[in-house]
């Protein structure tokens, strides 16, 4: 069986192996032992509540209990940009007009922005290829929302997710080649690696502060603004189902879209149910359901069949063991799929 749980220090080595398969464009999951080791230590301290809430980085792993392998990873950063700059491009509009010549033009522009500083960020979502079957990807992505529903007080009002931007078949980024390379004079992967290590001062030093006209960029660079990497499209759709949307902010390197939402308006916050665990088999009309315990220091989640809206959730002995729960313990549940009447 699979279980999603809080990361531990024992997961560092398999996490590094997993990161080696991620590829370029995901700055929060690079196969760097020092960086990932520090991040896992921060995550462990986050679940233990030994560091301030705004500094926390909650990392979760999906474990295959049949062999002890890590199948996937995902994370929630409580607040971004408070200890190092957090940059995006905001897409704006400038109007140029002349009554004398009867000319009126609207021009899209890119503004270097720190507008999203302080937001809670969903990040580091990756599922190993051999586990990309059934509901695994959907479950892994949506697990973070159920955690936020249970511990809503730990997060800021606004939540964001930077999506990996479009890349050509050879791995190059048309947007970076059309814009960023002119200022940074280095390959995309090199720049991406520097930001992953927290070295971001060069962004402010080298990028122009004045608005950039989109029309000045090569056509292939213009075409990918706000577009996601082909492997990221399913993840974008899942986040949009949960209440997030695109509002005109993009990544400064590959122009991937930044999705935004409000924690209080997420489906998981609105529709999840605080219930009681009991041992047994579900009876009546059931649906695929996320079920988690309510323990911050030992957060765990399974995917099971549960009856619609029940205040008691019947779980097998094995599921109770995976959740580290006993009958009578509080649990939180959420239907995996969005119901049609909920949009």
Three-state secondary structure call for residue 202: helix
Cα(46)–Cα(54) distance, integer angstroms = 10
Vertex 139 angle, CA 296 and 195, to 5°: 75
**Residue of 96, 229, 245, 324 marked active site:** 229
Name 140's Cβ contacts closer than 8 Å, sequence gap at least 6.
Answer: 4, 62, 72, 74, 125, 127
Q: Is 33 left (phi over 0), alpha (psi -120 to 50) or beta?
A: alpha
229 in catalytic set:
yes
Q: Rounded to 10 degrees, what is the CA torsion of 296, 299, 305, 311? A: -20
C-alpha distances (whole Å) from 197 to each of 34, 37, 194, 297, 315 are 9, 12, 5, 27, 42
Going by C-alpha positions, the residue among 87, 127, 94 that lies closest to residue 109 is: 94
Cα(306)–Cα(289) distance, integer angstroms = 6
Q: Which two tokens stand for residue 142?
A: 């949506």
Three-state secondary structure call for residue 39: helix
Phi, psi for 99 (deg, rounded to 5): -65, -35
Q: Which two tokens stand for residue 243?
A: 């209440």
Vertex 244 angle, CA 163 and 94, to 5°: 75
Three-state secondary structure call for residue 239: helix
Question: Is the separation of the CB atoms in 120 and 95 below 8 Å?
Answer: no
Three-state secondary structure call for residue 16: helix
Active site residues: 229
């Amino acid at each position: 069986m699979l279980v999603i749980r809080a990361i531990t220090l024992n997961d560092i080595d398999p996490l590094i192996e997993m990161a080696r398969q991620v590829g370029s464009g995901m700055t929060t999951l690079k196969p760097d032992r020092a960086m990932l080791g520090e991040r896992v230590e921060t995550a462990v301290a986050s679940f233990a509540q030994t560091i301030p809430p705004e500094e926390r980085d909650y990392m979760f792993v999906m474990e295959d209990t049949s062999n002890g392998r890590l199948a996937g990873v995902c994370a929630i950063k409580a607040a971004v940009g408070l200890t190092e700059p957090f940059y995006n491009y905001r897409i704006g509009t400038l109007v140029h007009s002349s009554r004398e010549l009867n000319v009126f033009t609207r021009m899209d522009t890119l503004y270097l922005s720190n507008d999203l500083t302080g937001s809670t960020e969903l990040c580091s979502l990756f599922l190993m290829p051999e586990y990309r079957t059934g509901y695994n990807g959907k479950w892994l992505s949506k697990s973070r929302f159920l955690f936020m529903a249970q511990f809503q007080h730990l997060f800021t009002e606004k939540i964001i997710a930077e999506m990996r931007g479009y890349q050509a078949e050879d791995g190059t980024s048309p947007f970076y080649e059309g814009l960023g390379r002119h200022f940074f004079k280095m390959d995309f992967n090199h720049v991406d690696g520097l930001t992953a290590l927290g070295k971001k001062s060069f962004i402010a030093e080298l990028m122009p502060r004045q608005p950039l006209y989109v029309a000045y960029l090569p056509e292939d660079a213009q075409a990918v603004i706000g577009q996601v990497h082909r492997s990221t499209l399913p993840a974008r759709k899942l986040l949009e189902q949960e209440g997030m949307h695109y509002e005109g902010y993009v990544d400064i390197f590959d122009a991937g879209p930044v999705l935004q939402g409000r924690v209080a308006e997420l489906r998981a916050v609105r529709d999840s149910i605080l219930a009681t665990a009991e041992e047994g088999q579900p009876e009546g009309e059931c649906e695929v359901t996320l079920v988690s315990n309510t323990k911050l220091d030992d957060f765990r989640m399974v995917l099971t069949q549960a009856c619609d809206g029940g205040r008691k959730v019947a779980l097998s002995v094995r599921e109770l063991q995976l959740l580290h729960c006993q009958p009578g313990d509080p649990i939180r549940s959420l239907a995996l799929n969005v119901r049609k009447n909920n949009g």
